[in-house]
Amino acid sequence: MQLTEIAPSADRAAPTWRRLLAEAVRDPAELCELLGLPADFRARVQRQPKFPLLVPRGFVARMKAGDPHDPLLRQVLPLRDEDEAVPGFGADPVGEIGVGPAPGLLHKYVGRALLVTTGACAVHCRYCFRREYPYSETPKSLADWEPALAALAADPTIHEALLSGGDPLARTDDWLAALAARLAAIPHLRRLRVHTRLPIVLPERVDDALLAWLTGTRLAPYVVVHCNHPNELDRATAAALGRLVDAGVPTLNQAVLLAGVNDDADTLAELCERLVDLRVLPYYLSQLDRVAGSAHFEVPEERGRALMAELHARLPGYATPRYVREIPGRPGKTPLA
């Protein structure tokens, strides 16, 4: 079977989310125009960034017009600040380039293996630690995945397959369904976890075709979404998260602590409360990975610890995320609070 791998599609017969992805904003000047950003601010925006701008129009609609400091805009708009070389910020901050047992497979966590399913995403987050990852070396067609599947099948200590990227849900459902079926055929695998920002930035992605393969194998499904600010949670996003939870998929959130986006206690507390209202559990609050071009997003760990103390005082335990960072070479995240 020839599986479609490239998700954006202008074809009228394609699922809604693929058409919306094809129509996403890709030009920084257009984004400034859509939001009516002040002319003096536009001088700080990169016109043709090396890591291109990408943002679905539905996510732009949640930004405040005319506000260059909007917390959603800040996550996606390429600023000239990114060109500044800062010591300690490099291309591979978490030490994962070229470490896996087979192409596309990272096995740095005990009991679980991470599959880099694609380099594509529905949004380009300026602080992303994978912005420098050599995605051209990851397998494309399902046939190219055979060495990774063989490596998983040969290691009975692995109980969980984690689909990552990029964003695995930028892949089409027929491709993902075929991969899920192959994983389910490996007897020692028990869980299938999907790390994705798509239900947040393009909630139309959570459709029947997605839920069918996600809940259609013997593997216990988990979804970890990525939402950093309560303004990201509009009605359509709430409905998408509700569809996941109603389908029996435990859904967790991973946020990144970001200067100028969510580095204050009120914003973080509101984010956590909105998430649990939607039956999504705050899982991690991640310290920024020090990737080149992201220094202007860094929040000092001391400040992060103070924010966590406030969250602990204000929220029930189940609504409080774990504050963690990735340290190269460690087989899991390191708690910071």
Ligand X SMILES: *Cc1c(COP(=O)(O)O)cnc(C)c1O
Under the rule (CB under 6 A), what is the footprint of ligand X? 109, 112, 114, 162, 164, 195, 332-333
197 binds ligand SF4 (CB under 6 A): yes
> How far is 225 from 168, CA to CA, in rounded Å?
11
75 and 228 in contact (C-beta within 8 Å)?
yes
Which partner from the list ligand X, ligand SF4, none does 112 bind, CB cut-off 5 to 8 Å by kind?
Answer: ligand X
> How far is 200 from 311, CA to CA, in rounded Å?
23
Contact map string, positions 79 to 118, toward ligand SF4, x by CB under 6 A: ----------------------------------------
**Residue 176, helix vs strand vs coil:** helix
Q: Which residue is nearest to ligand X (CB)?
A: 195
Is the Cβ of residue 60 or residue 162 nearer to ligand X in the bound state? 162
- Whole-number minimum distance, CB 161 to ligand X, in Å? 11
> How far is 227 from 277, CA to CA, in rounded Å?
14
> How far is 318 from 333, CA to CA, in rounded Å?
19
Is the Cβ of residue 87 or residue 98 nearer to ligand X in the bound state? 98
> How far is 294 from 271, CA to CA, in rounded Å?
22
123 binds ligand SF4 (CB under 6 A): yes
Is the Cβ of residue 16 or residue 334 nearer to ligand X in the bound state? 334
Contact partners, residue 239, CB within 8 Å, separation at least 6: 203
Is the Cβ of residue 18 or residue 112 nearer to ligand X in the bound state? 112
- Whole-number minimum distance, CB 139 to ligand SF4, in Å? 17
Is the Cβ of residue 112 or residue 205 nearer to ligand X in the bound state? 112
CA 41 and chain centroid, separation: 28
- Interface residue with ligand SF4 among 53, 102, 121, 162 (CB under 6 A) is 121
- Whole-number minimum distance, CB 289 to ligand X, in Å? 9
Cα distances from 210 to residues 69, 168, 204, 216, 243, in angstroms, run: 34, 11, 10, 10, 11
Task: State both tokens at 332.
Answer: 């899991």
326 binds ligand SF4 (CB under 6 A): no
- Whole-number minimum distance, CB 24 to ligand X, in Å? 22
User: Beta strand pairing status for 191-196 and 160-164?
Assistant: parallel
Binding residues for ligand SF4, rule: CB under 6 A, are 121, 123-125, 128, 130, 165-167, 197, 226
